[in-house]
Structure 1
Amino acid sequence: MKRTIRTTALTVGALIASLALPAGAARADATAPRIDLRVLVVSDGGPSTDAIAAELDASGTPYTKVDLQQSGRPVIDAGFLADTVDGRPRAKFQAVVLPNDNPFPAGSAEMAALSAYEQSYAIPQVDAYTYARPEAGLQYPVYGGYSGSLDGVQAQVTTAGKAGPFGYLDQAVPFEDNSPTVGESYAYLSTPAAGADFTPYVDAPIPGQSTRGSLVGEYRHDGRRELVVTFVYNQYQQQFRLLARGIVEWMTGGVHLGASRNYFAVHVDDVFAADDRWDTQLNCTPGDVDCSPGQGVPNPIRMTPADVDHATAWESSRNFTLDLAYNGAGSVDQREDNNGVDLLADKLIADRNRFRWINHTYTHAFLGCEQDTTVVPWKCSTNADGSTKWVGRNTISDEIANNRVWGQTAGLPLDTSELVTGEHSGLGVTPQQPQDNPNLAPALADNGVSWLGSDNSRDPQQRQVGPAVTVPRYPMNVFYNAGRAAEQVDEYNWIYTSRAQGGSGICEDHPDTSTCLPSPLDTSTGYTDYIVPLETRIDLGHVLSNDPKPHFIHQSNLAEDRIAYPVLDGVLNAYSGLFADNTPVVNLRMKDIGTELRRRAAWKTAVGAGQVTAYRIGNTVTVQAPAGVAVTATMPAGTTNGTGGFGSAYAGEVSGWTASAGAPLTLTLPSAAARMPAAVHRTVRAPATRTAPHTRVPSGVTRPTAYTPHS
């Protein structure tokens, strides 16, 4: 054993020499190393390294992935990790992510190379999911610790975590428990090993003990820093989503390309119009296409002035702005039927500056193919030659223009570049109309439309439609044809239960549907007890995923029982209980969301093509991207771009987009962040020679458990 350690130690010393940074050397600015802003992710195919890679992907942070299971993969050696550029030593990666504290065979030259690299350039290492053991700075769990499930357990950020990388959280880190029959978490809870320089950042109570065990902590040893994570996770689980930002900020020192924020926007469709109501006896919606012609009697749902008062009061209490997608003909029809009176429109127009407004077309007409509604489901009408009959360009253009003029006449604060067509019509809808109406794009051009709402459930990728770019919107499972909770539950039961239970059987025909019910919900309690918490969890998951896409509901959901508010409050209340005040929900309007998505796509393409370079030397960060591709980055507060400030404050840092003309962009870090962590080279020790033990991954992590309302 002594001989093995000695040989490895000599190897580390030789590697440090090959990395061109002699141990203990003073680093003047002229010889300070260049640290490229790129992360090395070494994966063994497990969900935890994949989750961190997904976080980097979503934020736009460049990384290189080495798959240990792949034949022909690159060998991690000194040349792979570092070289010299223009006479200056260069570290090719600012951080290293490993599956555990040592995924290599005992005495591995690759682990020795990584250890030497981290020592030489003060590069931090994340152990994505590792066993608690002295090599990771922790006691074995058998010594007063715990190994097992944390389903439903509430972990918390420690005082050190709050002062460090997880200061954007309030404190609580709840672990999901979506199914009582599926294991969704596994963890090793333990305390620091004797003599270890270990600081827990996130911990949880050790069952049967009065002490708490570390789940995430920093281990400092041998001139290296490791973030030791001792629980398993996937990219979708709430516990990871809460901690993902802090993991990235820890390993990059808060200096990296890419940015992450928590977004929530809610569009309310069909404002001024009325929505047809679900018939609980017919199991369809009289007046709409799911009922046969003449079946049932329409009984529309429309907001009242009191509903407007409730909406504005709610907005004020939540510091949140709703986006109202309106149909002007709804008010015109109301006045024609009521001797010129429309109290709802009068109230909304009086309060128009309390909301954002989106053109939703004048009559909410279907703008795709001409629909044949004599059959259920409807189909596209055809010409004599069998070709599809399309709604014409002039008809589409009139729907857009008439509604715009109506809104401008009413003084609505519109952005005329935004449009949501009725039912997202004009865009393809399967199975009846798999392609866009060819007349849609020219009509958008006629009216200067740049941003077009689409349904994320069927058209999730942002794409070009003539002059416009789509903005995918998440449909909330709060139905357009329900103003009362009992109606919502009845329709929910119809859709998501089996035929034998009186349902539609959709779950039998499509077993991958995620919201299927084992039995019908109680119509008096099912909404509050089941649907609201379920939809809250789903929507909060979007908010926590750095996903700016808006959600949409309908004006009917703000009327009568006002069934949208419990879900909206559920999302915002849960968020408020998890995040600190410096990390607010970002509430953007539609065109700004579209711009964010478009910038991300351009950035991702440029990064993937190797067209972006970025590095740090001392307190200066240099970034170069192609002309016209905006640069995204996260930096410490006080960072400057030339003579001006950079970005805007979020989660204790600054981040944002900066236009690029193709020339290098230079950012200067504040003096407090100017000193890079100093590597310690007093003694060069061997890395751990023992491979990390196998860790347990329950089925609920490898195959994510479907959302349920339970926590």
Structure 2
Amino acid sequence: MLTVALTLAAVPGNAVATTGPRIDLRVLVVDDGQGPVGAIRQRLDAEGVPSTVLSLADPGRPVITPQFLADPDGQRARFQGVVLPNEAPNRLAAAELTALADYERRFSVRQLNAFVYPTAATGFAAPTYSGTLDGTVSQLSQPALSGAFKQLRGPVAFDNNSPVVDESYGYLAAALPGASVTPILTGKSPSGAAQGLLAAVHEDNRREQLSLSFAYYSEQLQFRLLAHGLITWLTRGVHLGLHRNYLSLHVDDIFLPDARWNSAANCTSGELNCPVLPNIRMTQADAEQAKRWQGTSGFIFDMYYNGAGADRAVAEHGSDPLSAWMVRNRNDFRWANHTYSHEFFGCLRDFSVSPWRCQTDQNGQIKWVDEQLILDQITRNRDWANAKGLKINRAELVSGEHGGTRSEPQMPTDNPNFASALRKAGIEWVGLDASRDRDVRAVGQSRGVPRYPMNLFYNNGTRAEAADEYNWIYTSRADGGSGACEASGTCVTPVHPVTGFQDRIVPGQVAFTMQTLTGNDPRPYYIHQSNLAEDRIVYPMVDAILGAYRAAFATNTPLVNPRMSEAGEVLADQSAWRAASAGVTAYVQGDELVIQAPKGVPVPITAPEGTDHEGLLAPEFGTRYSGERSAVHRAGGTLRLDLPRSWASS
């Protein structure tokens, strides 16, 4: 169950603790416009950590002075951490660098240097290697794993997605002899001949700087793995913001058959002028395998069912072993409404042309699918589930083909009848196609949740079909493909018809999914029942994703597998927090964390293990995740938390 909300009543406060100055929970980011600082900015935003950004390219930016950083009386420090492009950006004046150094020493504020050339100023000796790091595996040190990076197992793999493009560049260097240096990340050259530090903390006269000696951008795996730990180190584990690693997988069309890709004609069976082939439909044996796999993998599918598929099979054959078995084993699966017979809920479509277009009336207005048909499809499928004893969330729905929601260029708006039917049916959360809608948005009075398509086509039951359709879509005419990729310049070399699924398609999906699930992104993925049938091509793909994740992350950081409505709530909270965070006051003073917020604002909070609610009988704060405590606070007013006395030295 997904539970990260904290709804305790606000604790009335009297005088705040007076031990030491107040340090506001906000990060100062000095941005040079390059990839490493951009990646850190993106991660701060993704987790919800408030920041103030100074662009070095802006001639009107504020000058960094002691007064900019703290109140003149020294009782309030405005930033809990500082991010710089490197230890001494050439567009910061010497006086600004001095102000930062003095501020950090005075208030014990840490500095993160996004990408440095190893020098004595950052605790490094001269580099022994400079060049590409593609495909290498670095290792976190024991101090890192017992500290800010405790959510990781230790190995950190560097991307190597292309054999002809250098993707990662860095410097390997030893710690400077005699300097106070804590190794964080150790790497090696591709040949293995050279090794050295890639990240280290240098402490000099009560000032701590964590410097990274490799370049990166926000999508690269090595940064994604390290990103939360960098924030934890920078903020000493106390900040506004919250992270989870999410992965959900919806299986659409349960009980329905799906049309098959015709490899000879390069089309989907049943389309205009496409030869007809047998459909793809799961069998009872496929369902039994799904149950076994869930049990051994520890991962649960969301089964988006269409009751008409089962009823039709019974009417045609007298029985349906698939649906009968799944109903008997209904408590082993998580069910959700995909409408009764998968009707399209958008406009009335004209398939006499390709691509299809919306039918229009004599005035040129779009003809929409009727509200009553939509309502009947939703409620009939719901009634089917009730009759079979399936447990569903009545507020969730994914329509066939995401129909009813806008689909440009044919449908620039949602079907207004779809929105009204959702309201009458009590649907609060409806699935969207993430390639069309990136963010949660209103669909009438309901809210839409974007879903990522996994790179498994609905019309594929075998690996050979998957490889053939992939080549048709993504390769040039010269390589035998459709050439649809040529206009955008995104064509790829064809995959091998026999081994290409496992060698190319699976690793590509693993790389993309690792980006989203390490990005504080709860958007679910979706596939179709056909992918659980025949060659069962979903399993090697998801096994590879889970394997990559579990090789990188410790057991204290399990994947969170939310239902669609739960994912929607997380996305809605993230959006609301970005909009309202400026109205929230949060600071640390001594060992006390104080947060003041308007009621109803979802304030994400992360704090170290051992953080307690001040004055409450049940003192433990939040939910344990990745070696920290975190929660979303909604009660408003003033919340006071007691930090563990060891937090400042973390």
Band the TM-score falls in, shorter-chain normalisation:
over 0.9
After the TM superposition, which residues 619-638 of structure 1 pair with which residues of structure 2 at under 5 Å, given as runs? 619-638=591-610
After the TM superposition, which residues 48-87 of structure 1 pair with which residues of structure 2 at under 5 Å, given as runs? 48-83=36-71
Matched, 1:330 2:309: yes
**Partner amino acid for 1:457?**
S
**Partner amino acid for 2:283?**
T
Give the Cα separation in 1 of the matches to 2:522 and 2:274.
40
Name the counterpart of 1:565. 539
The C-alpha deviation readout for 1:89-128, integer Å capped at 9, x for no partner, is 0000000111111114697100110011011101111111
Give the Cα separation in 1 of the matches to 2:358 and 2:344.
11
After the TM superposition, which residues 104-503 of structure 1 pair with which residues of structure 2 at under 5 Å, given as runs? 104=90, 108-141=94-127, 145-205=128-188, 212-287=195-270, 291-292=271-272, 295-339=274-318, 341-503=319-481
TM-superposed deviation, 1:626: 2.3
Question: Structure 1's 366 and 106: CA in aligned 2 closer, same or farther, altered over 3 A?
Answer: closer
**Contact preservation (8 Å) 1:168, 1:580:** yes
Give the Cα separation in 1 of the matches to 2:278 and 2:236.
59
Name the counterpart of 1:523. 497
TM-superposed deviation, 1:660: 2.6
After the TM superposition, which residues 661-700 of structure 1 pair with which residues of structure 2 at under 5 Å, given as runs? 661=636, 663-673=637-647, 676-677=648-649
**Contact preservation (8 Å) 1:484, 1:563:** yes
The C-alpha deviation readout for 1:592-629, integer Å capped at 9, x for no partner, is 1000000110000012xx21111011111111222211
The equivalent position to 1:42 in structure 2, one of 1, 11, 30, is 30
**Contact preservation (8 Å) 1:606, 1:625:** no
**Partner amino acid for 1:92?**
R
**Contact preservation (8 Å) 2:136, 2:190:** no
SS at match of 1:203: strand
TM-superposed deviation, 1:205: 2.6
Give the Cα separation in 2 of the matches to 1:270 and 1:376.
24
SS at match of 2:75: strand
SS at match of 1:219: strand
Give the Cα separation in 1 of the matches to 2:507 and 2:35.
27
Give the Cα separation in 1 of the matches to 2:437 and 2:76.
43
The equivalent position to 1:103 in structure 2, one of 89, 93, 97, is 89
TM-superposed deviation, 1:640: 2.3
Matched, 1:505 2:488: no
Give the Cα separation in 2 of the matches to 1:475 and 1:347.
28
Name the counterpart of 2:6. none
**Contact preservation (8 Å) 1:146, 1:207:** no
Question: Structure 1's 677 and 527: CA in aligned 2 closer, same or farther, altered over 3 A?
Answer: closer
Name the counterpart of 1:698. none
Question: Structure 1's 484 and 206: CA in aligned 2 closer, same or farther, altered over 3 A?
Answer: closer
Q: Return the index of the structure with the highest Cα Rg.
A: 1
**Partner amino acid for 1:314?**
W
Deviating 4+ runs (over 6 angstroms):
207-211
Question: Percent of aligned pairs with the same residue?
Answer: 46
**Partner amino acid for 1:528?**
Q
Give the Cα separation in 1 of the matches to 2:209 and 2:411.
54
SS at match of 1:415: coil
Give the Cα separation in 1 of the matches to 2:487 and 2:204.
57
TM-superposed deviation, 1:475: 0.3
TM-score using structure 1 length? 0.87
Give the Cα separation in 1 of the matches to 2:36 and 2:253.
43
TM-superposed deviation, 1:210: 7.1
**Contact preservation (8 Å) 1:536, 1:567:** yes
SS at match of 1:671: coil
After the TM superposition, which residues 573-592 of structure 1 pair with which residues of structure 2 at under 5 Å, given as runs? 573-592=547-566
The C-alpha deviation readout for 1:157-184, integer Å capped at 9, x for no partner, is 1122112211211111111112222221
TM-superposed deviation, 1:483: 0.5
**Partner amino acid for 2:401?**
E
Give the Cα separation in 1 of the matches to 2:18 and 2:372.
67
**Partner amino acid for 1:99?**
P
Give the Cα separation in 2 of the matches to 1:48 and 1:105.
17
Question: Structure 1's 48 and 653: CA in aligned 2 closer, same or farther, altered over 3 A?
Answer: same
Give the Cα separation in 1 of the matches to 2:547 and 2:55.
40
Give the Cα separation in 1 of the matches to 2:285 and 2:373.
35
More deviation in 165-174 or 376-385? 376-385
The C-alpha deviation readout for 1:458-503, integer Å capped at 9, x for no partner, is 1112101122111100001100001011111111111112223332
**Contact preservation (8 Å) 1:185, 1:233:** yes
TM-superposed deviation, 1:153: 1.1
SS at match of 2:486: helix
**Contact preservation (8 Å) 1:66, 1:73:** yes
Give the Cα separation in 2 of the matches to 1:403 and 1:318.
30
TM-superposed deviation, 1:88: 6.9
The C-alpha deviation readout for 1:12-40, integer Å capped at 9, x for no partner, is xxxxxxxxxxxxxxxx9535100000000
SS at match of 2:217: coil
**Partner amino acid for 1:109?**
A
**Partner amino acid for 1:323?**
D
**Partner amino acid for 2:425?**
N
Give the Cα separation in 2 of the matches to 1:88 and 1:328.
67
Name the counterpart of 1:653. 628
TM-superposed deviation, 1:381: 1.2
**Contact preservation (8 Å) 1:264, 1:586:** yes
Matched, 1:32 2:20: yes
Name the counterpart of 1:690. none
**Partner amino acid for 2:394?**
T
After the TM superposition, which residues 6-25 of structure 1 pair with which residues of structure 2 at under 5 Å, given as runs? none
Question: Structure 1's 501 and 345: CA in aligned 2 closer, same or farther, altered over 3 A?
Answer: same
SS at match of 1:615: strand
**Contact preservation (8 Å) 1:31, 1:88:** no
Aligned length: 632
TM-score using structure 2 length? 0.95
More deviation in 495-504 or 390-399? 495-504
The C-alpha deviation readout for 1:54-95, integer Å capped at 9, x for no partner, is 1000000000011111111000001100006xx770000000
Question: Structure 1's 387 and 517: CA in aligned 2 closer, same or farther, altered over 3 A?
Answer: same
Name the counterpart of 2:506. 532
SS at match of 2:485: helix
Give the Cα separation in 1 of the matches to 2:321 and 2:464.
27
The equivalent position to 2:580 in structure 1, one of 584, 595, 606, is 606
**Contact preservation (8 Å) 1:612, 1:626:** yes
Give the Cα separation in 2 of the matches to 1:534 and 1:332.
38
Give the Cα separation in 1 of the matches to 2:641 and 2:602.
15
SS at match of 2:364: coil
Give the Cα separation in 2 of the matches to 1:207 and 1:556.
41
SS at match of 1:507: coil
- Structure 1: runs of 5+ lacking an equivalent: 1-27, 679-711
TM-superposed deviation, 1:542: 1.2
SS at match of 2:630: strand
Give the Cα separation in 2 of the matches to 1:161 and 1:264.
26
RMSD: 1.7
